[in-house]
Structure 1
Amino acid sequence: MASAQEFAGTGPVRDQHRFDQAALERWMARNVAGYAGPLTIDQFKGGQSNPTYRLRTPGRSYVLRRKPPGELIKGAHAVEREARVMAALGQAGFPVPRIHGLCTDDAVIGSWFFVMDLVEGRIFWDAGFSDVAAGERAAYMDAMNATLASLHTIDPAAIGLGDYGKAGGYVARQVARWSDQYRSDELAGRHPAMDQLVDWLPRHLPAADEVAITHGDFRADNLIFHLTEPRVLAVLDWELSTLGDPLADFAYHAMMFRMPPDILGGIAGRDLAAAGLPDEAAYVEAYCRRTGRPGIGNLDFYIAFNMFRFAAILHGIKGRVARGTASSADARAMGERFARVADLAWTQAQRLMA
């Protein structure tokens, strides 16, 4: 879906996302231990949902993530949830940036925000790790697999997240949530494949689901790796996290095997063996081994569901472009991928009907 050229790095703060820097500096001085200015601010090119900024001082660097200004869909852009889950997971030893503070006072910069450490490392923009030697790629893939499996084996209640979401019924709620969001966003328009999925998915839900902390958007470009080692230093972008079905969360990640390179940096169509990559079956087996399960019987359904969910996210981006609240400079191009992903999702569902 993304490329380093499209979304990596930073640039000047975009006009629609400017705020009172002096007010932020006063808040930092009061709330961030050891803060010492002066402060320089630029904006990350990515951050499709929540505008994200790099804050630099002479001594260290931080990241600020905020709700976008303007009219927002109810329940979206929940930066307070991101801050909460990362703080709890950090205390449990899971790789996330350190959270320094959350501000729920709109008067400071115009919307809620939180500040966390900037983790120095390497971000890969395709799931096949094309930027490393073929002989090293399997190790990077395995590091992703191990990190997600580790997340799904953490007891939510043990780290204070027992109330972070509802227990059970995750996929049904997600189908209903994204269906409602799709239907309610009239500015983004409708698409036949999406309408068919809205009807088909509720009638083919798994009989039961498990409960774990789920990331919701676990993919290569939401991870920061060590500069030279196949080791995950931090998992980013927790806006869609909740208590949910870990198999659905894993299937979203495993969609990379069925997505083309220009969508989510997928690896569909590649000669995996020649590229030094595991195939889908081996990747699924590694996750199942780490989480102590014999297999994933409903993997095809879960992938169809996740393609639908991702299409709904793109539909939301398309709507934000229409409303003028899109965070990323490349949001228009992303929103235009909506129909294509919806078609991919419906094709996956049709395979299950055969």
Structure 2
Amino acid sequence: MPGLDLDRLSPWLAAALPGGGTELSAELLAGGKSNLTYAVTDGTSTWILRRPPLGHVLATAHDMAREYRVMAALQDTDVPVPATLAFCDDSDVLGAPFYVMERVEGRPYRHSAELEPLGAERTRRISEALVDTLAALHAVDPVTVGLADFGRPEGFLGRQVRLWKKQMDASYTRDLPAAEELHRLLAADVPAESATGIVHGDFRLDNILTDEQDRPAAVIDWEMATLGDPLTDLALMCVYGRLGEQVKGSSVVDVASAPGFLSEDEIISRYASRSDRELSRFGFYLGLASYKLAAILEGIHYRHLHGQTVGAGFEGVGEVIHPLLDAGLTALKESY
């Protein structure tokens, strides 16, 4: 299996997890367009293993130690996360650092077609819980949970603008004039940050496992977590909703178009009622989120062109970037 040598993993797992068997089998879980996620079993127990993608890897975007640390820190908070079990920084085992966590039962809803059979009332509850979980995360005091040194919150927004420009440049395969213009406008008018909090970095419904009672069972995919301005999470979630409306029928997440799902205005209003953060410059955050997502997708597009992706669904990623950048330019004119 690409990225997972079970012969090397077996002795490590048996030593790291008491009772872990050595006769292992594994399955690559669907939807892993960045870090690779596997279900590993010894026939009795099943665990989830996360490792970086193969080939071209963007700097800072696939740090397994950071992902493991933030989930471990949130274990006793109101934010549901899987139990972290073991971390390995020995690249001789799988060729890269990785970690193992518990398997949590739940569904990562990605498309509106998956929510529609539930009905509008259940879909609304799920989207309300999504916003409430984000507000709960942003209410956690990083110092209290041992994450005081997890990031550099001062100047966070300016660094984000510079970081995603570097990531975009690192995945260069073509000219993107709209990306250049969006970056120029963002860099020229960076607002002051809101109060420091824990930033998930890719918060959306398919990064939450929802249980059969429509409750969040676990927030997953913490690979871009840091300390900084939490409003970037809210903006990115909104941009995913906008993108899904623009490119229906693609592999892009489009749950926000399901009947009953909170509208963007309702999402922002519900979040605002559970937070004291200032939203008057939210248009900037939407523009930054659009640029960030475009840089991430361009990295995936780069890996696909070079045969370094695992799984299906990558063919149309490159075309998604154009409407995303246009929406980012429009967002900079919006106010709240």
TM-score of the pair, normalised by structure 2: 0.91
Write out aligned runs for 1:1-354 (5 A).
Answer: 13=1, 17-126=2-111, 129-186=115-172, 188-227=173-212, 229-259=213-243, 260=245, 261=248, 262=250, 263-265=252-254, 267=256, 275-293=259-277, 296-349=279-332, 351-352=333-334
2-structure distance, mates of 1:221, 1:71: 24
**Cα deviation, residue 352, structure 1:** 4.3
What amino acid sits opposite 2:262 in the alignment? Answer: P
1-structure distance, mates of 2:329, 2:46: 44
1-structure distance, mates of 2:153, 2:290: 23
2-structure distance, mates of 1:277, 1:111: 39
Gaps of 5+ in 2: none
1-structure distance, mates of 2:132, 2:271: 7
For the structure 1 residues 18 and 217, does the alpha-carbon distance in structure 2 shift closer, same or farther, using more than 3 Å as the test?
Answer: closer
What amino acid sits opposite 2:145 in the alignment? Answer: I
SS in 1 for 2:308: coil
What amino acid sits opposite 2:289 in the alignment? Answer: N
**Cα deviation, residue 163, structure 1:** 0.7
1-structure distance, mates of 2:236, 2:59: 24
For the structure 1 residues 225 and 306, does the alpha-carbon distance in structure 2 shift closer, same or farther, using more than 3 Å as the test?
Answer: same
- Cα displacement string for residues 147-194 of structure 1 (whole angstroms, at most 9, x for unaligned residues): 1100000000111111111022222111100012212333x2221111
- Cα displacement string for residues 12-40 of structure 1 (whole angstroms, at most 9, x for unaligned residues): x3xxx244312101000010133124211
Asked if the contact 1:179/1:198 (under 8 Å) is kept, the reply is yes
For the structure 1 residues 86 and 131, does the alpha-carbon distance in structure 2 shift closer, same or farther, using more than 3 Å as the test?
Answer: farther
What amino acid sits opposite 1:234 in the alignment? Answer: A
Count matched residues.
329
RMSD of the TM alignment (CA)? Answer: 2.1
2-structure distance, mates of 1:247, 1:18: 34
Identical amino acids, percent of aligned pairs: 33
1-structure distance, mates of 2:57, 2:74: 28
**Cα deviation, residue 254, structure 1:** 2.3
Asked if the contact 2:199/2:228 (under 8 Å) is kept, the reply is yes
- Cα displacement string for residues 203-237 of structure 1 (whole angstroms, at most 9, x for unaligned residues): 1211333210010111111110112x121000111
2-structure distance, mates of 1:336, 1:103: 37
1-structure distance, mates of 2:229, 2:179: 23
2-structure distance, mates of 1:73, 1:302: 22
Gaps of 5+ in 1: 1-12
TM-score of the pair, normalised by structure 1: 0.86
- Cα displacement string for residues 317-354 of structure 1 (whole angstroms, at most 9, x for unaligned residues): 112223333244323332332223222222333x449x
SS in 2 for 1:36: coil
